[in-house]
Structure 1
């Protein structure tokens, strides 16, 4: 969990405790009044659990300050807009998440991506995407709308052929070799990558195994113009729009990009990964 998110959650908890004490209630009394466990009241006040909008509404009413619900809800929205938990995002499945990402791509003109562990979604074949979605559905126990999600992801790739935008995509060579799908599916995926080289809207760089790196090749992320960074983690996506964070991720991207190979050199790296599969 990000430090900023945790600090915001602790600050919200302190405000909840303040409202409770102003109402003259102990934690046990409030728990009984709300029909909650004392443990939950304690976790909310100490920032060890994220409150839901309903938690905040009944809390404000329980301490006799129903008007405070608006303030509490605003606090929750302010820090959850930055940290979007997968549990909440995937409550209705993967397709709505893909639709949200497509909307952001439509709003953007220059997009930069870094990926170290898998082929970026915008360049995935349908078969490769199907295996990726299936793995995450199993991991997160989310609704199995895999085919709808695959269609939404592949449909977003139409943006690659529209003039007026530019995609600068950099991947680490291990992303080309990770067997997150059967070898024949990965082989077709690598053929697809080779075909992308030369598109006038796409600049595809590959950082080879042997390249010197000035930074560790950590989490994948997307930079949308100079306004937004989307970072993927296991528990959540981070949507960061503070100028200092956008600038930081831009520096990270530029540093990793300095080690990337392009054009014929990138094609050779893809080809050697393809040969290593030993498939026709």
Structure 2
């Protein structure tokens, strides 16, 4: 889906929610305009997703409709639209090193990470060799400046947050992520060995696997990272979508819980890893 289409859809959803508040309050557009001090043409533009409301507009709209409890969620939705889409191309102009470094402040701020990835091993858990192969794939596909050494160094530096005992990490990966050979057999085996170590005795980290034949009640097609309960990063081919609206975050939290209920951990996870590792070592 194109960037403009995603943003237009998000604007349409916000407009529909505001229109529904007015309708549920039994107000006409002109009556709402009178209560809020807005021009009635502005009301129409907002409800038809022609004009974005600002925070003052949303607060006044909710107050006029006796829906103050909706303010926080609607403001978050509007902010999400303003900055929901991070264009990788803009960040990638000087290479992936800058992209990787841009994550560091958020990682340092976040206390609880919940991560789902079905296509590749999460960056915080990657070995140096695997990280190099993964990032090399992105550089070659996107045809961007080649700063592979800086990008790998930045990604490995991010992993320092794993040593912070005040943080909690819950990783779930699909079995396919373990099998996709982004690097050669020896490097894949080394990466899987590292994951095996994480399945036992790491106090602030859990690592689960969705077996290939498992059937969760919800199988998200996209990779996503939940940072505390404040925002969700969704990875797509052309870029990232940032969700900050509490209702959106809640949907991803529910999806993560659905994955957690069918994921295997501990000894069962080690058995999956040993099987896949053995296949790579036999190659």
Report how far residue 212 of structure 1 moved: 2.1
> Given the superposition, is the C-alpha separation of residues 178 and 78 from structure 1 closer, same or farther in structure 2, using an over 3 Å criterion?
closer
Equivalent residue for 1:88? 90
SS in 2 for 1:92: coil
> Given the superposition, is the C-alpha separation of residues 210 and 4 from structure 1 closer, same or farther in structure 2, using an over 3 Å criterion?
closer
1:218 is aligned to 2:230: no
CA-to-partner distance for each residue in 1:143-188, whole Å, 9 max, x for gaps?
A: 1111111011111111111110000000011110111211111011
User: Is the 1:220–1:232 Cα contact (8 Å) retained in structure 2?
Assistant: yes
**Aligned-partner Cα distance in 2 for 1:199–1:223:** 20
1:239 is aligned to 2:262: no
User: Is the 1:114–1:220 Cα contact (8 Å) retained in structure 2?
Assistant: yes
User: Is the 1:184–1:279 Cα contact (8 Å) retained in structure 2?
Assistant: no
Q: Please list every run of at least 4 consecutive aligned residues from structure 1 whose deviation after the TM superposition is greater than 6 angstroms.
A: none
**Structure 1: gaps of 5 or more residues:** 11-76
SS in 2 for 1:163: coil
Where do residues 168-183 of structure 1 align in structure 2 (5 Å cutoff)? 168-183=170-185
Where do residues 244-259 of structure 1 align in structure 2 (5 Å cutoff)? 244-259=247-262
Report how far residue 79 of structure 1 moved: 3.7
Report how far residue 4 of structure 1 moved: 4.5
**Structure 2: gaps of 5 or more residues:** 13-78
Q: What is the RMSD of the two structures over their aligned residues, measured on CA atoms?
A: 2.2
Equivalent residue for 1:190? 192
Using the TM superposition, name which of 100-109 and 78-87 deviates more.
78-87
SS in 1 for 2:248: helix
> Given the superposition, is the C-alpha separation of residues 278 and 4 from structure 1 closer, same or farther in structure 2, using an over 3 Å criterion?
closer
**Aligned-partner Cα distance in 2 for 1:247–1:208:** 25
Equivalent residue for 1:144? 146
Report how far residue 213 of structure 1 moved: 2.1
Q: How many residues align?
A: 216
Equivalent residue for 1:157? 159
Report how far residue 256 of structure 1 moved: 1.1
**Aligned-partner Cα distance in 2 for 1:235–1:4:** 12
Equivalent residue for 2:27? none
Report how far residue 89 of structure 1 moved: 2.0
Equivalent residue for 1:5? 7
User: Is the 1:187–1:279 Cα contact (8 Å) retained in structure 2?
Assistant: no
Q: 1:203 aligns with which of 177, 197, 206?
A: 206
SS in 1 for 2:281: coil
> Given the superposition, is the C-alpha separation of residues 80 and 116 from structure 1 closer, same or farther in structure 2, using an over 3 Å criterion?
same
> Given the superposition, is the C-alpha separation of residues 8 and 174 from structure 1 closer, same or farther in structure 2, using an over 3 Å criterion?
closer
**Aligned-partner Cα distance in 1 for 2:129–2:282:** 16
Q: 1:266 aligns with which of 257, 269, 272?
A: 269
Where do residues 104-119 of structure 1 align in structure 2 (5 Å cutoff)? 104-119=106-121
**Aligned-partner Cα distance in 2 for 1:241–1:170:** 21
Report how far residue 7 of structure 1 moved: 4.4
Report how far residue 6 of structure 1 moved: 2.8
Report how far residue 217 of structure 1 moved: 4.1
